């Protein structure tokens, strides 16, 4: 058995110097034929080893009967054989010292248990030979920067030449790789490379992301993600990318249950909670998009332009109606629009009435006759406005298209601020389209994508402020008790745990008789609340277990009897255990939750409490722990923030206390880590002078001894 000295690097896999094609043929109708032709047509300048026992040469290249017959070990071998031949072939590749096998073969781990077992076996074989695997169930790769057109997708023949550029795309979907390759090509977006990673049996999304980021020709890496194997590694890579001035842009399937289910049967990826992924991306500056086609185009615009500075968006178009619709859509999509400076207005005054100096500016709304000078002046004036941070031009069928386009290309090349060019002409204006492609000015064709491109520029501008590259520093005080409880945590237990972390809870006394309760109430001072303690009960109020606003002893005794009855009903045979609690003043109720999201780690989730929980679904999630500053950002992002901040002139509440409490809870989550299944504080009441956890429950696993 021959074994390589060391594994090939992933960077070398995506830019291989030699490629073995198992099953090579001249027939373009066959898989092995398409790959071979694409490699040749797109000028691969490394060595190609066709392997086909029936042929001496294929497409003019010397052909070899088997992997074992190769004169040298190839960097990579492409394998698209039926599953039955896979083990033997992978072994032969290993024996031959192949650096990496790209396994196209599908119906493995994503398909059946037998497939998963076979997949595990080929990984084992590969490991034995220090050989890497791409796939299985993948579609190859297209790396213009290395002249590698190693895929059977017919879009490669369509494209004629691969448009080189600084956007990479790592895809968990093979079909999307082909689809996005053509979208990029047709919208003037040059690629440094794209790869379909399939089931990620060995090499995964992070490996290829890293490999593309290492390439000098890559500025933005796009990702289509179904499931993330290692969130922590992803985080490190993303932060390193940012530090190097590069960007990650991602679409992730599984925002909804329906999407999750579909992703699961596609590449056997457990999608994981989208909100945990979203929180992770925010922490490490990864930009999210909702549509793959749009992602590759918008990423091209991001990669081709300078970053967006301070200010708003200015749009020029040649349709008053189109402009009005854009104004509406910007307002609805929260796209900030620029107000022209007086200097800009004066410059526009030569041709446009003040009443027509809108943003969007309709070029057609000028005074007097049509001259290109009018358009040119307007474009320069608006683009030059210091308050304009991004410039949008929407070209619909309009007068003076060639001159206007030439002007815009000139401005784009100045690279002063990002330009989003919208060629909204369908198939009309083919000359302009070609001119844009020739100029290397990436463009969108629809308003939807224009808004997404602006969103990406805006999100990128905001990302630095929102990122949390480092863990927050620990607050003073928090500590776990020596003996941790296990299983369902009742309210008193949950509160004791929180108290240990410095989270304020109402003063309370657990009582087992009316007499004890009366003594406790006197000590706490009226008014008080009674709460029946019953394990496993989530909505205590619904079962009559909570009696608030008890003003005196007579009321207390009556309420005690009622709660005792409710306990007997909820948990027959249970002894009455009733908590007597201090009443807390009014305020705004939050819900604070902790969830353990597997590889994503413990998460803290804050939302509007009370009736808002279900009505508003107004929640925000971050990985624990969070600092009080991050907690404040979370609160500010809630729709109910105005209530905390003193809506309608009311005195603002004690937001600092709320932030502190959230941070402390998040540390509890971080410290308990995977022992903590879930934890919920509902409500966390924020008053004018504090933030108090009025209720709590949770579930803890036993410590792993």
Q: Please report how close the Cβ of residue 308 comes to a copy of itself at its closest, in angstroms.
A: 20
**What residues numbered 671-700 form the site for a copy of itself, per CB under 8 A?**
none
- Residue 404 binding a copy of itself, by CB under 8 A: no
CA atoms within 13 A on the CB side of 593: 15
**In the set 30, 356, 461, 507, which binds a copy of itself (CB under 8 A)?**
356
H/E element, 48: strand 47-51
Total binding residues for a copy of itself by CB under 8 A? 87
Rank residues 146 and 429 by Cβ distance to a copy of itself and give the closer one: 429
Q: How many residues are there in the chain?
A: 705
- Is the omega angle on the peptide bond into residue 529 within 30 degrees of 0, that is, cis? no
- Write the binding mask 255 to 294 for a copy of itself: x where contact by CB under 8 A, - elsewhere: xxxxx-xxx-xxx----------------------xxxx-
Q: Please report how close the Cβ of residue 86 comes to a copy of itself at its closest, in angstroms.
A: 16
Rank residues 107 and 350 by Cβ distance to a copy of itself and give the closer one: 107
Rank residues 111 and 488 by Cβ distance to a copy of itself and give the closer one: 111
Q: Please report how close the Cβ of residue 225 comes to a copy of itself at its closest, in angstroms.
A: 10
Query: Is the four-CA dihedral 55, 57, 61, 63 of positive or negative sign?
Result: positive
Q: Please report how close the Cβ of residue 136 comes to a copy of itself at its closest, in angstroms.
A: 14
Residue 177: Cβ within 10 Å count: 26
Q: Please report how close the Cβ of residue 453 comes to a copy of itself at its closest, in angstroms.
A: 14
- Residue 454 binding a copy of itself, by CB under 8 A: no
**What residues numbered 496-535 form the site for a copy of itself, per CB under 8 A?**
none
Paired residues of 443 in beta bridges: 421
**What residues numbered 292-311 form the site for a copy of itself, per CB under 8 A?**
292-293
Rank residues 328 and 561 by Cβ distance to a copy of itself and give the closer one: 328
Interatomic CA distance for residues 67 and 69, integer angstroms: 5
Residue 183 CA to its chain's centroid (Å): 21
**What residues numbered 358-377 form the site for a copy of itself, per CB under 8 A?**
358, 360, 362, 364-365, 367
- Write the binding mask 564 to 583 for a copy of itself: x where contact by CB under 8 A, - elsewhere: --------------------
Q: Please report how close the Cβ of residue 74 comes to a copy of itself at its closest, in angstroms.
A: 28
Which stretch in 121-129, 402-410, 484-492, 646-654 sits in contact with a copy of itself by CB under 8 A?
646-654
Alpha helices in 285-392 (DSSP H): 292-304, 320-332, 342-349, 372-384
Q: Say if residues 7 and 70 touch (Cβ distance below 8 Å).
A: no
DSSP string of 543-584, one letter each residue: GT-EEEEE-SHHHHHHHHHHHHHHHHHHSTT----EEEEE--
CA atoms within 13 A on the CB side of 85: 11
Q: Please report how close the Cβ of residue 149 comes to a copy of itself at its closest, in angstroms.
A: 14
**In the set 129, 330, 412, 600, which binds a copy of itself (CB under 8 A)?**
330
Interatomic CA distance for residues 187 and 442, integer angstroms: 6
H/E element, 78: strand 76-79
**What residues numbered 148-207 form the site for a copy of itself, per CB under 8 A?**
153-155, 158, 171-173, 175-176, 178-179, 182-183, 185-187
- Residue 229 binding a copy of itself, by CB under 8 A: no
Q: Please report how close the Cβ of residue 130 comes to a copy of itself at its closest, in angstroms.
A: 31
- Residue 251 binding a copy of itself, by CB under 8 A: yes
3-state secondary structure of 38: helix
Which stretch in 592-600, 608-616, 652-660, 676-684 sits in contact with a copy of itself by CB under 8 A?
608-616
Q: Please report how close the Cβ of residue 292 comes to a copy of itself at its closest, in angstroms.
A: 6
Alpha helices in 353-446 (DSSP H): 372-384, 401-414, 430-439
Q: Please report how close the Cβ of residue 329 comes to a copy of itself at its closest, in angstroms.
A: 7
Interatomic CA distance for residues 550 and 493, integer angstroms: 23
Rank residues 183 and 511 by Cβ distance to a copy of itself and give the closer one: 183
- Write the binding mask 106 to 125 for a copy of itself: x where contact by CB under 8 A, - elsewhere: -x---xx-------------
Residues 510-549 as b or e (16 or more Cβ within 10 Å = b): bbeebeebbebbeebeeebbbbbbbeebeebeebebbbee
Q: Please report how close the Cβ of residue 291 comes to a copy of itself at its closest, in angstroms.
A: 6
Interatomic CA distance for residues 370 and 211, integer angstroms: 53
- What radius of gyration do the chain's Cα atoms show? 31
- Residue 542 binding a copy of itself, by CB under 8 A: yes
Angstrom distances, CA of residue 465 to CA of 285, 451, 601: 9, 22, 23
């Amino acid at each position: 058995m021959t074994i390589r000295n060391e594994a090939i690097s992933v960077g070398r896999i995506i830019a291989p110097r030699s490629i073995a094609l198992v099953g090579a043929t001249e027939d373009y109708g066959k898989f092995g034929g398409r790959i071979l032709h694409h490699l040749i047509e797109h000028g691969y300048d490394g060595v190609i080893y066709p392997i086909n026992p029936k042929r001496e040469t294929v497409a003019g290249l010397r052909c070899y009967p088997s992997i074992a017959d190769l004169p040298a070990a190839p960097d990579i071998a492409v394998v698209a054989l039926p599953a039955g031949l896979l083990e033997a072939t992978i072994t032969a590749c290993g024996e031959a010292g192949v650096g990496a096998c790209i396994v196209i073969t599908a119906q493995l781990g994503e398909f059946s248990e037998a497939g998963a077992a076979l997949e595990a076996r080929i990984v084992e074989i590969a490991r034995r030979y220090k050989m890497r695997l791409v796939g299985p169930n993948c579609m190859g790769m297209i790396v213009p920067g290395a002249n590698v057109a190693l895929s059977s997708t017919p879009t490669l023949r369509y494209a004629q030449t691969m448009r080189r550029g600084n956007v990479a795309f790592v895809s968990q979907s093979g079909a999307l790789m082909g689809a996005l390759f053509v979208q990029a090509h047709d919208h003037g977006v040059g690629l440094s490379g794209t790869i379909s990673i399939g089931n990620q049996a060995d090499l995964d999304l992070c490996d290829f992301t890293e490999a593309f980021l290492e390439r000098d020709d890559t500025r933005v890496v796009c990702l289509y993600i179904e499931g993330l194997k290692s969130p922590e590694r992803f985080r490190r890579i993303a932060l390193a990318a940012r530090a190097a001035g590069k960007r990650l842009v991602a679409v992730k399937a599984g925002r909804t249950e329906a999407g999750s289910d579909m992703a699961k049967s596609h590449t056997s990826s457990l999608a994981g909670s989208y909100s945990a992924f979203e929180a992770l991306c925010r922490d490490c500056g990864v930009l999210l998009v909702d549509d793959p086609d749009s992602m590759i185009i918008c990423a091209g615009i991001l990669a081709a332009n300078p970053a967006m500075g301070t200010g708003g968006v200015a749009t020029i178009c040649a349709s008053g109606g189109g402009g009005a619709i854009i104004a509406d859509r910007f307002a609805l999509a929260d796209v900030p629009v620029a107000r022209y400076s007086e200097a800009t207005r004066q410059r526009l005054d030569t041709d446009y009435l003040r009443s027509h100096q809108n943003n969007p500016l309709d070029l057609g709304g000028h005074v007097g006759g049509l001259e290109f000078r009018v358009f040119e002046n307007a474009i320069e004036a608006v683009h030059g406005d210091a308050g304009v941070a991004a410039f949008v031009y929407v070209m619909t069928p309009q007068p003076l298209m060639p001159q206007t386009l030439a002007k815009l290309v000139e401005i784009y090349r100045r690279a002063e601020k990002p330009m989003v060019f919208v060629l909204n002409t369908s198939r009309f204006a083919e000359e302009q389209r070609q001119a844009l492609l020739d100029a290397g000015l990436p463009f969108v064709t629809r308003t939807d994508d224009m808004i997404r491109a602006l969103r990406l520029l805006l999100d990128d501008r905001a990302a630095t402020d929102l990122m949390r590259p480092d863990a927050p520093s620990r607050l003073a005080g928090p500590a776990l008790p020596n003996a941790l409880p296990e299983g369902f945590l009742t309210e008193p237990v949950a509160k004791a745990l929180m108290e240990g972390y410095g989270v304020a809870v109402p003063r309370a006394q657990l009582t087992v008789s009316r007499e004890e309760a009366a003594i406790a109430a006197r000590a706490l001072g009226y008014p008080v609340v009674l709460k029946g303690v019953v394990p496993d009960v989530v909505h205590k109020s619904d079962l009559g277990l909570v009696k608030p606003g008890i003003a005196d002893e007579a009321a207390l005794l009556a309420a005690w009897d009622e709660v005792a009855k409710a306990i007997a009903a909820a948990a027959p045979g249970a002894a009455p255990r009733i908590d007597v609690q201090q009443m807390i003043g009014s305020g705004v109720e939050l819900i604070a939750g902790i969830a353990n999201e597997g590889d994503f780690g413990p998460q803290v989730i804050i939302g509007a409490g009370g009736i808002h929980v279900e009505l508003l679904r107004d929640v925000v999630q971050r990985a624990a722990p969070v600092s009080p500053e991050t907690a404040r950002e979370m609160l500010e992002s809630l729709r109910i923030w105005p209530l905390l901040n003193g809506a309608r002139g009311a005195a603002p509440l004690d937001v600092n206390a709320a932030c502190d409490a959230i941070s402390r809870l998040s540390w509890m989550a971080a410290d308990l880590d995977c022992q903590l299944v879930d934890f919920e504080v509902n409500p966390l009441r924020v008053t004018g002078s504090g933030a108090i956890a009025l209720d709590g429950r949770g579930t803890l696993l036993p410590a792993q001894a």
